[in-house]
Amino acid sequence: MRAALLGLLLWCAAAAAARAGWLRVGAIELLFLLAPLVVVPLGFELLRKRVSPADRFLTSASVLCPFASVLVATSFLLQPGAGAAAFVTPWMLICGLASLAGLRSALRGGLRSVELACFSVAQLYLVVGGVWLLVSRLGALPMHFSEPIVLLTAVHFHYAGFALPILAGSVGGVLEARSSAGKRIFRWVAAGILAGPALVATGFVVSPLLKLVAVLILALSCVALAGFQIVVLRGLRSRMAKALLGVSAGSVVAGMALAGVYALGDYAARYWLLIPQMARSHGPINGIGFALAGLLAWSLEARSIQGPR
């Protein structure tokens, strides 16, 4: 939590400097930087508490994360190339350690419950985001994709691939502890959340129709997750956690509505929303309102449970 708070202060300073014109980074770069500086450290804290506090891979990733995230931020002060890529190499190590932890959890039965499956897959997706960050900082053009698509792919797998399944797993853990009829429905929601990030990325390569279908599946799954967040927040102990989870639920509905409009417009070649507009609207709504608020909510709830009654 301390690392995430310090990262948030650094991110706010970078955002203020960018707005004042002192720092040459755009909305997409700032959206991405929120992930290594704040979102991923919060995710690691939750994973260690909910999955395996003694996992050596995850523990090492958590310890090294603050240092690697600062180096990632530093890389954006440089032009794309070998120098900028060198600064994000430690982040690749973080992502690799987390994915090894996720793989080991999955092999040890981590796919038997919705909660553990979400946590395992989140860690596996993170290394994909790390690879695309490295490609972006190198200035490479894989499969003829150029910026900002390359960096946006890194954004996609850090948020939709890593943060989203952790939020889903946290909800799933509460539902599994209850004799709720909604558990069966939630399993389908979780399936859409786990498959969605990979399907969306595949759609960009395979066909516009698959991309549209994948975005709609992921968007509907996220809206359903928002409903389940509202259901479970009533049972949380921390008032602040309840408020933040409510913010998270409302934000993801708004963010996914924008994603749906963008996907439909892109498929029909109507272009109601363009990438710069999505970066300034959908990005902050999902990154700050949904992911950050949601992870903070579950972190605060975990701390309230550990504290005295």
In a domain, 54, yes or no: yes
In a domain, 248, yes or no: yes
In a domain, 178, yes or no: yes
In a domain, 228, yes or no: yes
Contacts of 242-250 with CB under 8 Å at 24 or more apart are: 242/297, 243/297, 244/293, 244/294, 244/296, 244/297, 244/300, 245/293, 245/294, 245/297, 245/298, 247/289, 247/293, 248/167, 248/289, 248/290, 248/291, 248/293, 248/294, 248/297, 250/226, 250/289
The per-residue pLDDT for 309 is: 35
pLDDT per position as a tens digit, 132-187: 999 999 999 888 888 899 999 999 999 999 999 999 999 998 888 775 677 889 99
In a domain, 139, yes or no: yes
In a domain, 176, yes or no: yes
Give me the domain span that covers residue 226: 2-7+22-306
Helix (H) or strand (E) holding 199: helix 182-206
For the chain, the domain total comes to 1
How many other C-beta atoms lie within 10 A of the C-beta of residue 242?
18
In a domain, 182, yes or no: yes
Task: Give the number of residues written for the chain.
Answer: 309
Across the chain, which has 309 residues, the per-10-residue mean pLDDT values are 88 92 90 96 91 82 94 95 96 96 85 88 96 95 87 96 96 80 87 96 90 95 96 90 96 93 88 84 92 95 65
In a domain, 17, yes or no: no
Amino acid at 183: K
